[in-house]
């Protein structure tokens, strides 16, 4: 059975049917629902790699659905909405969405964005999706080394008490687990891999699209999405912009790791 499972949460029957057709053609097994609460339950049950989500849903809206899903799942979330204001896009990303596409959308563009997410999954060696607590919790890991972003023998990367394991998709801060979305994890990994080299917003945007090796056009909204995702990472790491322990902003350019703290 294919591990390409998608949950569709959309109250418009025509759009719901269109999404089922697009994703089925892309090789997904789809499960479609018209209400937010049903969609949340389906994500918990099906553990999809991808979830498409409308904002204007009966009952709980799409923003709240995304927040609830993020409590237990790292599924890729694409919000599909007729709301075109920037504030709606930012609210969607802040709620935990990985991407935001306005309606009416072109099926080819949606397909391209989905395939970019699948390329990211392959590029970072991710296995099947699932709940955020699916990784074993009895792993024994050595203490962080003192070198900046030091690779450890068992695959961990460390910096100032922050540790990530790219293959297991785990993040720890001072020995405590940190829950990151897939996009947040990918951006943090890219910055940690860069060490003290500045990684531009354009480069990070292409990482999120899966185009890091091919290049491509980067819009202002792409860069803004990077900013929102990294703001969420900073909040989860308690990493203030004016006194960073982990992520340092290089104004007008991009991001790099903060200096090592002894």
Read off the CATH number of the domain in which 222 is found.
1.10.10.10
The pLDDT of residue 160: 92
Considering the domain architecture, whether residues 159 and 116 belong to the same structural domain is answered as: no
Residue 138: inside a domain: no
260 or 11, greater pLDDT: 11
Q: Please state the pTM of the whole predicted model.
A: 0.68
If asked whether residues 112 and 17 sit together in one domain, one would say: yes
Instruction: Yes or no: say if 229 and 93 are a contact pair by the CB < 8 Å rule.
Output: yes
Structural domain containing residue 9: 5-123
CA 68, CA 79: separation in Å to the nearest integer?
Answer: 14
Boundary of a domain, candidates 85, 108, 123: 123
Q: Which residue has the tokens 């940690």?
A: 192
CB atoms within 10 A of CB 12: 15
**Within a domain: residue 251?**
yes
Q: Tell me: do 97 and 154 sit in the same domain.
A: no
β-pairing, 176-177 with 99-102? unpaired
Say if residue 2's pLDDT is above 60: no
Q: Are residues 97 and 200 in the same domain?
A: no
| pLDDT tens digits for range 180-238 | 888 899 999 999 999 899 999 999 988 877 665 445 678 787 888 899 899 999 999 99
139 within a domain of the structure (yes/no) = no
Q: Please check whether residues 168 and 75 belong to one and the same domain.
A: no
Q: Is residue 135 part of a domain?
A: no
- Are 179 and 102 found together in one domain? no
Domain shared by 104 and 66, yes or no: yes
pLDDT tens per residue across span 116-140: 888 776 555 554 444 343 333 332 3
Query: Please, are residues 189 and 197 in contact by the beta-carbon 8 Å criterion?
Result: no
Q: Is residue 92 part of a domain?
A: yes
**Residue 153 — very low, low, confident or very high, per pLDDT cuts 50/70/90?**
low
Residue 145 domain-assigned? no
Q: Are both 179 and 226 inside the same structural domain? A: yes
In a domain, 78, yes or no: yes
Within a domain: 108: yes
Task: Please report, for the domain that includes residue 45, its CATH number.
Answer: 3.40.50.2300
Q: Which residue, of 88, 123, 158, is where some domain finishes?
A: 123
**79, 85, 94, 176, 242 from 211: Cα distances, Å:** 20, 26, 23, 32, 31
Give me the number of domains the chain comprises.
Answer: 2
Ramachandran bin of 208, using left for φ above 0, alpha for ψ from -120 to 50, beta for the remaining angles: alpha
């Amino acid at each position: 059975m294919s591990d390409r499972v998608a949950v569709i949460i959309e109250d418009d029957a025509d759009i719901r049917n269109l999404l089922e057709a697009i994703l089925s053609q892309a090789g997904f097994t789809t499960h479609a629902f018209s209400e937010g609460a049903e969609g949340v339950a389906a994500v918990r049950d099906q553990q999809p790699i991808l979830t498409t989500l409308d904002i204007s849903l009966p009952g709980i809206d799409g923003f709240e659905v995304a927040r609830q899903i993020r409590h237990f799942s790292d599924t890729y979330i694409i919000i599909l909405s007729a709301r075109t204001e920037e504030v709606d896009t930012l609210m969607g990303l802040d709620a935990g969405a990985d991407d935001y596409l306005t309606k009416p959308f072109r099926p080819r563009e949606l397909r391209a964005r989905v395939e970019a997410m699948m390329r990211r999954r392959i590029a970072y060696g991710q296995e099947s999706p699932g709940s955020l607590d699916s990784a074993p919790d009895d792993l024994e890991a050595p203490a962080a080394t003192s070198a900046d972003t030091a690779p450890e023998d068992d695959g961990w990367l460390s910096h100032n008490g922050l540790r990530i394991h790219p293959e297991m998709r785990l993040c720890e801060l001072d020995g405590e687990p940190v829950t990151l979305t897939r996009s947040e994890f990918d951006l943090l990994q890219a910055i940690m891999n860069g060490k003290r080299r500045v990684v531009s917003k354009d480069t990070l945007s292409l990482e999120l699209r899966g185009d890091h090796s091919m290049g491509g056009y980067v819009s202002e909204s792409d860069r803004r999405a990077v900013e929102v995702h990294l703001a969420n990472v900073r909040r989860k790491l308690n990493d203030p912009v004016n006194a960073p322990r982990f992520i340092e902003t290089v104004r007008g350019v991009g991001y790099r790791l903060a200096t090592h703290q002894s």
